[in-house]
Structure 1
Amino acid sequence: MDRKVKICLKELVKERGISLRELARLSDIEPSIINKLANGKREKIYLPHIERIADALDIDDISKIIKLVSEED
């Protein structure tokens, strides 16, 4: 079974009632990077970005941001 890393930004911003653009502002990350992460279009994930997203959303558990899913999901 092949697996891939999924960044769960769409779910997180929906839960918090904010937009991806607002998350970009809160985390001080370029909106284009946030959009690519949210849509699975970014090949490289930088830990400082994940840390800033976690800080912006007040998340203590990285598994709320990053999940390992099977290719079929």
Structure 2
Amino acid sequence: MYKEKVLVIHIQELVKKHNISLRELSRRADIDIARLSELSSGKRQRINIEYIERIAEALNIDDIREILTIEDK
């Protein structure tokens, strides 16, 4: 039986873990705060892989699973 999957981006968890604001992540990653907010709330359907790279670099993350996961819908 096929289970539909969804890509989940863990922006809120990341800002809590790194003790920074969404605005600070926006500044560090050079990503518009509106885009980060959309990613955080799940309102954005398409994800620019460059955003993931920038977030990883800004927060010194080596494992992409800290940023996003694929989960059952």
Question: Which TM-score bucket, shorter chain as reference?
Answer: over 0.9
Separation in 2, partners of 1:62, 1:69: 14
Aligned residues: 71
Gaps of 5+ in 1: none
Equivalent residue, structure 2, for 1:24? 26
- Per-residue deviation, 1:11: 0.3
Q: Which stretches of structure 1, 4 residues or longer, exceed 6 Å deviation after superposition?
A: none
Gaps of 5+ in 2: none
Larger radius of gyration: 2
> AA paired with 1:38?
S
**TM-score normalised by L of structure 2:** 0.93
Classify the secondary structure of the residue corresponding to 1:12: helix
Q: Sequence identity of aligned pairs in percent?
A: 44
Separation in 1, partners of 2:21, 2:51: 17
Equivalent residue runs for 1:1-73 within 5 Å: 1-71=3-73
**TM-score normalised by L of structure 1:** 0.93
Separation in 2, partners of 1:27, 1:44: 18
Q: Deviations over 1:1-54 (max 9, x none)?
A: 211000001001101111111100000000000000111111110111110000
